[in-house]
Chains A and B, each alone.
Chain A
Amino acid sequence: MTDPVLEIRKLTKRFGALTVSDGIDFDLRPGEIHALIGPNGAGKSTLIKQICGELHPDAGAILFSGRDLAGEGSVARARRGLARTFQVSSVAPEFTALQNVVLAVQGASGATFRFLRPALGDAALTGPARAFMERVGLSGRENVPASILSHGERRRLELAMALAMEPRVFLLDEPMAGLGPEGSQEMTAILSDLRHEAPILLVEHDMDAVFTLADRISVLVYGRIIATGTVDEIRANAEVQSAYLGDDA
C-alpha cells in the first residue's frame, strides 16, 4: 500500500465543553476520493478548517506527505498544495471569472510582489487560467464578473481556482451544495476526472454523488469517525444505517 498523502492522527478539538473533533484518525491515499459524510453538526467543516490551518487542534497531528503541519498557517499550507473549496462559494465578487483564476495561478506561482507588468497581460498567468476554466466548463465566461455568475458556475469557478493551485490534495467542502440534479451530475463528472490530478477529501451530503465517486467513505458523527470503508461496506454497516443513512438507504 502506498503512503498516504494526508494523514490525520488522533485529532482533537474542543469548543468549550463541546468536543467537535474527538480523536479523529483519517488518511487520504494517492489517486483516491475519500468521502467524509455525517449529519449536520458532526464536525466535518471543523475538520476541514483544521486541515487547512484556519483552526488549530487541541491535540493530535496532521501530516502532509509525512510532514507535520503544526505551526503552519493557512497561507503556508495553501502554498504546499492544499487546495480548498468552500462550503459557501468564496470568490472575489467584483473580479471577473478570469481574474479570479489568474489570482489563483499567481498564488501558486509565488510571484505576487511584481508591480509593473499588468497581470491580465501576462500570458504566463492568463494562459493556464483559461485552460483551467475550460476544464471545468467555464469557457466563454471569462469576462463575466464573479458576482453575476450563476450559483453552479461559481462552484465550478472555485474548482478552477483549486486546480490552478497545482494542488497535491483537494479539500472540497460540499461542492454539490445548492446544485440541481443536473448540476450535480456535471459536477460529479468533473470531480471524477480531478482525482487523476490529486486525491480528494470530499465532504458531501449528496449520497448519490458520494456513492458514485468515493473509493472510501468515512462517517463522522459527533466528532468521531464511527466507520471507514468502501462504499459497499458503509452501505452494509448497521451503525451507519441508524446514525445517518436512514432505513431506505
Chain B
Amino acid sequence: MFRETTVNTALVAILVAVPLVAQAAGEPFIITLATKVAIFAMAGVGLNIALGYGGLVSFGHAAFFGIGGYAAGILASHAQSYTPLMTWPFAIGGTQQMLIIWPVALAASGIAALVIGALSLRTSGVYFIMITLAFAQMVFYFAVSWPAYGGEDGLPIYVRDKFPGLNTLDPLQFFAVAFACFLLAVLVSVVLSRSRFGLALQGARQNVERVRAVGIDPYRLRLVAFVISGMITGLAGALYADLNRFVSPSMLSWQTSGEIMVFVILGGVGRHFGPLAGAALFILLEHELGSVSEYWQFLLGLLLLLVVLFAHGGLIGVLTRRPHRD
C-alpha cells in the first residue's frame, strides 16, 4: 500500500502535530497524552530490540521500566528532602537534574538486565518467558515491601526534574524532551539492527544452529542485546516517572510488561516505528473507548487477537502490506 518510510514519517508527523495543535487550542491534557505515547513507544523500542531482532520474548521488561522510574524517583526524593542517598563510603546526594538522573537510570536498568539476562538466557522458549516474568515479579514485590521509598503507596516527585535551558513543567517542553529521547532510541535501534551485531542477532533469531556453525556465540549476542534493550526501556521509565511526577510498584507489575509487549505486537514486531504505532493506538483506545466503557480492554484484546491472527507485521505491516523485516 504505502512504503514503510512514508508510514513512519506520517506517524512521527502526527505525534509532533498533535501536541502543537493542542497547545494552540489550549488543551494541555492532550499534550500529556502525546508525551505518554512517546514514552511508551520508547519503552517498546527497547523491548523490540530483544523481542523483534533477537526473538527474545521477555515478559519482564516492566522490571527495567520500573527500575528506571525508581532511579528518577529516589534521586529526586533525596534532592527534595535534602537528605543524602548514602553517606558511606562516600556521600552521595539526590539530584533533580535529568542529565544526571538519566545515566543513573540507564546504568541501573542495564545492570539489572545484565543479571536477569545472564540467568534467563540459559533457557529458551516458554522457560525464558516465565523466568523473565519471575524476575520482574521479584523486583515488584521488593518495591512493594521496601518501606523506605513508599512501598505499596509509591513515591511522589513533587517538582518535575529539570533539564538545562527548558522549563520541564511546561507540557510542550516536556513533550519535546520525551520526543527527542524517543527519536534517539529509534536511531539506536536502526543503527544496531543494520550493524554486524544486528545481523548476527537477527541471524540467531532465525537459525541459532547456523549462527553457531559460523563460529558466533549466540549467548553473548543475546545478552548484549538484552542489556541494551533493558536500558532503553529503563530510560523510558525515568521519563514516565517524571511525566506522572510519581513512581509506584505498578510500573513494575506484570501488567506493565504485558502492555509494553502489546505496543510492540500491535505496531509490528521487528519494525523500527512499530512501537510508536502500537503505543499511539493503545493510548487512543484507552482514551476514546475508556470514556465510553470501562471494558475497553475487551476491544483491545479483540484487536490484538486480530493482529496476531491476520496481520503479521502489526499495524505497520497492514499499512505497508508487504511482509518484511529489516
Contacts and interface: CB of A to CB of B under 8 A. Distances in A.
Interface string A147-189: 0000000000000010011000000000000000000000000
Interface residues of B, number: 26
Q: Is the interface of B mostly helix, strand, loop or mixed?
A: helix
B167 interface: no
Contact of B211 (A84, A86, A103, A164): A103
B203 interface: yes
Interface string A75-115: 11011000010100011111100011011101110111111
B197 A104 contact: no
B214 A115 contact: no
A131 interface: no
A74 B214 CA distance: 9
B5 interface: no
B195 A118 contact: yes
Contact of B200 (A79, A84, A90, A112): A112
B194 A78 contact: no
Contacts of A106: 196, 199-200, 214, 216
A29 B200 CA distance: 33
A115 B191 contact: yes
B221 interface: yes
Contacts of B212: 74-75, 78
Interface residues of A, number: 39
Given A113-B197, A119-B194, A92 B215 contact: no
A104 B199 contact: no
A91 B210 contact: yes
Contacts of B168: none
Interface in B185-222: 191-192, 194-200, 202-203, 206-207, 209-217, 220-221
A115 B195 CA distance: 5
B139 to A, nearest CB: 27
B207 A92 contact: yes
A62 interface: no
A165 B209 contact: no
Nearest to B326: A94
Given A84-B213, A103-B200, A117 B207 contact: no
B198 A103 contact: no
Interface of B: 191-192, 194-200, 202-203, 206-207, 209-217, 220-221, 224, 325
Given A93-B206, A111-B196, 8 more contacts: A74-B212, A91-B207, A94-B206, A99-B203, A104-B214, A115-B198, A118-B194, A165-B215
8 contacts: A74-B212, A78-B215, A90-B213, A92-B210, A93-B207, A107-B216, A111-B196, A116-B195
